[in-house]
Structure 1
Amino acid sequence: MSDTARLEQDIQATRARLEGTINELAYRAQPQVIAQRQAQGLRLKLDAATHTPDGELRIERIAAMVAAAVAVVVVVGFLRRRR
């Protein structure tokens, strides 16, 4: 194979790799895809926070989260009535 043919093959291979990279970046930059990744990350964090590595619920953490949510609702309600 001549040097010219080898160079043309290298150029074609490089173009194919670049095209794949550009397509992947364009896909990852879509707002819907970004939102899906963030939602999946939040689900994983919530699962890690509320379950043991064995998959059992961490009741004490769930109770603490519920208590914090109730406290926020009470404070917001109190502040709204005060206005």
Structure 2
Amino acid sequence: PGTFAGTYGTLVLNANGTYTYTLNTTDADFKALTGGGDGTENFTYTLTDADGDTSTATLVLQIHNNDDPVTIDGLNVNGGELT
């Protein structure tokens, strides 16, 4: 269990194996992912069973900044109705 800071947010790992990832949308690294940019968070962890055997894996989170404003060009609304 613990809290781990990533590039774009924070991962909280609970004792029961569940986790929560909170994206920091005010972070400069996240804001730099403009135009639908993508980033990746990698958290490597090791599991140990009761008799000491270990297994290492990586949790990979794909980060997408799709919150850019929408721009619509080429509309002709003179004399018409836009619905």
For Structure 1 versus Structure 2, the TM-score category normalised by the shorter chain is under 0.3
TM-score when normalising by structure 1: 0.23
Query: Which of 1 and 2 has greater Rg?
Result: 1
Relative to its length, the structure with more helix (as a share) is 1
Relative to its length, the structure with more strand (as a share) is 2
TM-score when normalising by structure 2: 0.23
Which structure is higher in RCO with an 8 Å CA cutoff and minimum separation 6? Answer: 2
